[in-house]
Amino acid sequence: GGEGSMQVVGRYEMFGVVESMALVRFAGRQRDSLLLAFRDAKLSVVEWDSAAHDVVTAQLHFYEEESLRRGRVSFDQPPILRVDPLNRCAALLVYETKLIVLPFKHKGADGDLGDDLEEEDGEALAAPPSKKFKTGEAAPSQQSAVVRLGQPADRDSPILPAYVIDLHDAGIKNVGDFTFLEGYFEASVVFLHENRRTWVGRIAVLKNTCQLTALSLNLSQKRHPMIWSASGLPFNCRYLVPVPPPAGGALVVASNIVIYRNHGSRCALKLNDYAVAGGDGNLKYDELGDPVLFDTVHPARLDGYQLAFGLMGGGMYVLNLHVDEDGCTVKRLELERGVLRAAPTVGAASCLTRVGEDHVFLGSRLGDSALLRLDRMGAGDPPPEPREAARAAGG
């Protein structure tokens, strides 16, 4: 690809701290919409209005019901927002134990999901958002602008009425992260949780406390059967990364080890000598040549089964997932040091995201952010100089 650049189109002040965000492409829309989650259980749908050349708020969702709080007034964990990769629904984890599922209208092989949930035929999927108003302005109609739990959906709204899943009833406690799985017929979500907690002072007694639980979301019947689970993972697992099909499954990222799990396969990569093997003791793992402390942010997906990780202390790594001949089973993980050629003012990564085919945006809190171009090295290319390989985003 050629040279790329980014320009500031606008800056907007929010009435709160954005705790989580996600992109979604509603059915019939030509542009993506941005979902923003705020404490304790608020969600905004923001869109770009080409006529006004400005960002507008399409919907406000308010789920701060007393019945969901269970008498508590404060919560340590902020809301976590995730969107299904096929844009079938979004899931918002609030109050640490409540999963709010927001189905989207879409056309599928079996017809319109909105017909099943609302029992209304002929729904106009491509209708414009109802009663938009700019961020910071008062809503023209409080009833039409703010959507509450259990409230019927507007006919023009791309979001159907939400419902709540109590994770305690599903045997899931102390959720650290969750993500949607890819390649499933129904929207499926996997949780990284720790039902029985431990800490570094007790790892001699109890260390493999994290586990995975995958649920299949039947949006029309509002059911969520468990499809697979995995237990005995290290206590310091931090977050999940979905793996694209046909391999599927998810990566569990910790500071000392990276683990791949699916319902039928498993493998791991030991990053340093502090790593502890997870699972039932029979989990085999590959070892990294040079030890590294893997304090990273969520990676950017590259081509195929490749992921780009940015360390919080500076540095870039590329994780390769090697699959077998049929391409359906991950058999080995390999981590390589990436080469980052950037200005000295570029800070360590606070976030990474893919932009188009040939660029990655590196956002930093400690320095300048940067738009990086991806240069793919061939098998015959010479290895980078040590000083270039060590030249990290903030180094």
Tell me the average pLDDT of the chain.
83
- What local confidence, expressed as pLDDT, does residue 200 receive? 83
User: Each residue of 89-105: pLDDT tens digit?
Assistant: 999 999 999 999 999 99
- What local confidence, expressed as pLDDT, does residue 92 receive? 98
Residue carrying the six token digits 């705020």: 38
Closest CA to 177 of 248, 250, 245, 104: 250
**In this structure, how many other beta carbons lie within 10 angstroms of the beta carbon of residue 316?**
24
- What local confidence, expressed as pLDDT, does residue 104 receive? 96
Show the low-confidence residues of the chain (pLDDT under 50).
Answer: 1, 109-111, 119-144, 277-281, 384-395
**In this structure, how many other beta carbons lie within 10 angstroms of the beta carbon of residue 323?**
17
CA 7, distance to chain mean position in Å, is 26
Closest CA to 252 of 244, 241, 262: 241
Q: 118: which 2 tokens?
A: 């609302």
CB neighbour list of residue 178: distance below 8 Å, 6 or more residues apart:
80, 82, 91, 93, 189, 190, 191, 192, 240
Distance CA 201, CA 70 (A): 31
The C-alpha angle 236, 242, 244, rounded to 5 degrees, equals 150
Per-residue H/E/C for 143-198: HHHEEECCCCCCCCCCECCCEEEECCCCCCCCEEEEEECCCCCCEEEEEEECCCCC
Residue carrying the six token digits 């709160």: 16
Residue 136: phi and psi, rounded to 5, are 100, -15
Under a CB-based contact definition with an 8 Å cutoff, are residues 96 and 75 in contact?
A: yes
Under a CB-based contact definition with an 8 Å cutoff, are residues 224 and 218 in contact?
A: yes
Q: 176: which 2 tokens?
A: 């650290």
User: Each residue of 249-291: pLDDT tens digit?
Assistant: 999 999 889 999 998 788 999 998 888 644 444 566 788 878 8
- What local confidence, expressed as pLDDT, does residue 203 receive? 81
